[in-house]
Amino acid sequence: MSHKVTLVPGDGIGPEVVRATVAVLEATGAKFEWQEVEAGADFMLKHGTPLPDHVLNSARSTGVALKGPMTTPIGGGYTSPNVALRKGLELYACLRPVRSLPAVESRYSDVDLVVIRENTEGLYSGIEHLVHPGVVESLKVVTDHASLRVSRFAFEYAKARGRRKITAIHKANIMKMSDGLFLECSRQVARDYPEIEYDEMIVDATCMKLVMDPHQFDVLLMENLYGDILSDLCAGLVGGLGLVPGANIGDDCAVFEAVHGSAPDIAGKGLANPLALIRSSCLMLDHIGETEASEKVDRAIIQMLRAGEPRTPDMGGTARTMDIADAIIQRLG
Ligand code: ATP
């Protein structure tokens, strides 16, 4: 059976890592019918919007998308197409499994935790205004609806994967109402899963504890901004942004993308590490029922890492993006 998948190369290093990932997926034996759609910074220059309707329409019709990063201008400029895509498709849960890989230089070994981030609201609601020259407001929106559904997702995920504990991350000592509501919803859902341990931790203390001993954590559940920041922090625990996969999941659609952004500093040079997106594509293969292909790619990545090369510059090597794809393909067996 051939799987219809929307393909969004994005911009920056996006097209490079997407090309490498598609080459690996095509070599697994699984069959795909790609619907490639343009979006991102270059599309914005030509057509005045970074996220045209055809992207959302294609993803709605296929139900699955593989996506490269898209640049979000800092300060002014257009709103983030990545956030708009997650909101437009109601991809309310962002899933980022953070696992140590063999032979990858990092401060820790045997890290195995999962970041689950609310994806549609919080401070990413995009509601900002000028109150008076020199004074701006940015609103953090928290609803019971969104908090309950992401909590439910986290507990169902933990149950299905045999994970033992969920820690809800918050700053409810300061944001008593917004983070307070998020916690209330997490506690309400936790009561339905007595077999899974549940606790809570303030976000700043969590950062310190993650850096000192990440092994004490299992599944971390949090709102949007803390999820964005902690995802990068956790990526740093296991070798960096070039390695960590991600998925944005809703009831009708799922979009698979790496944690990293468009990395304009290395774009177009063939130096980007495609492993984060290739590993995101393993999550996609699991999602569409191609578990055998997913395991094959995972095994090939581990064999390649154990061999010590090829490695892209972020991992201390000199290899190029497509060298990684080729080395994985050779080991698919
Ligand atoms: P965003 O805000 O869009 O998520 P970011 O601020 O997290 O982006 P990135 O674009 O992810 O920033 O880049 C952060 C740093 O990590 C940059 O120095 C970049 O070159 C590096 N980096 C990110 N992704 C990769 C990759 N796949 N391979 C190698 N280096 C990467």
Check if the beta carbon of residue 48 is closer than 8 Å to that of residue 42.
no
Looking at the fold, whether 87 and 119 belong to one and the same domain comes out as no
% of the chain residues with pLDDT over 70: 100
Looking at the fold, whether 193 and 209 belong to one and the same domain comes out as yes
Between CA 333 and CA 82 the distance in angstroms is: 35
Q: How far is the CA of 48 from the centre of ligand 1 (A)?
A: 25
User: Hey, which residues does 255 pair with through a beta bridge?
Assistant: 65, 248
311-to-23, 101, 235, 325, 328 alpha-carbon distances in Å: 18, 13, 17, 11, 12
**What's the pLDDT score for residue 73?**
85
Between CA 180 and CA 197 the distance in angstroms is: 20
Express each pLDDT in 83-126 by its tens digit: 899 989 999 999 999 999 998 888 899 999 999 999 999 998 88
Looking at the fold, whether 206 and 159 belong to one and the same domain comes out as yes
**What's the pLDDT score for residue 134?**
97
Q: CATH number of the domain that 270 lies in?
A: 3.40.718.10
Check if the beta carbon of residue 254 is closer than 8 Å to that of residue 216.
no
Q: How far is the CA of 242 from the centre of ligand 1 (A)?
A: 8
**What's the pLDDT score for residue 55?**
95
**What's the pLDDT score for residue 113?**
98
> With a cut of 50, which residues of the chain have pLDDT below it?
none
Stated length of the chain: 333
Q: How far is the CA of 262 from the centre of ligand 1 (A)?
A: 6
Domain with 56, as residue range(s), is: 1-91+244-333
Looking at the fold, whether 224 and 248 belong to one and the same domain comes out as no
For residue 96, being part of any structural domain is answered with no
Please tell me if the CB atom of residue 310 comes closer than 6 angstroms to any atom of ligand 1: no
Q: How far is the CA of 236 from the centre of ligand 1 (A)?
A: 12
**What's the pLDDT score for residue 223?**
97
Q: Residues 6 or more apart from 62 whose CB is under 8 A from it? A: 4, 5, 6, 35
Atom of ligand 1 nearest to the CA of 82: 3
Check if the beta carbon of residue 262 is closer than 8 Å to that of residue 10.
yes
Q: What pTM was estimated for this model as a whole?
A: 0.94
Pocket probe for ligand 1: among 104, 241, 271, the residue whose CB has the most ligand atoms within 8 Å is: 241
Looking at the fold, whether 194 and 113 belong to one and the same domain comes out as yes
**What's the pLDDT score for residue 189?**
98
Say which DSSP state 90 is in.
T
Domains identified in the chain, total number: 2
For residue 101, being part of any structural domain is answered with no
When the pLDDT of each residue in the chain is averaged and rounded to a whole number, the result is: 96
Looking at the fold, whether 112 and 210 belong to one and the same domain comes out as yes
Residue where one domain finishes, among candidates 237, 252, 271 = 237
Looking at the fold, whether 211 and 122 belong to one and the same domain comes out as yes
Looking at the fold, whether 220 and 266 belong to one and the same domain comes out as no
**What's the pLDDT score for residue 181?**
98
Residue indicated by tokens 């045999």 = 162
Please tell me if the CB atom of residue 314 comes closer than 6 angstroms to any atom of ligand 1: yes
Looking at the fold, whether 191 and 267 belong to one and the same domain comes out as no
Between CA 177 and CA 125 the distance in angstroms is: 17
Please tell me if the CB atom of residue 263 comes closer than 6 angstroms to any atom of ligand 1: yes
Q: How far is the CA of 246 from the centre of ligand 1 (A)?
A: 14
**What's the pLDDT score for residue 77?**
82
**What's the pLDDT score for residue 316?**
92
For residue 142, being part of any structural domain is answered with yes
For residue 99, being part of any structural domain is answered with no
Residue where one domain finishes, among candidates 204, 237, 270 = 237
Looking at the fold, whether 205 and 306 belong to one and the same domain comes out as no
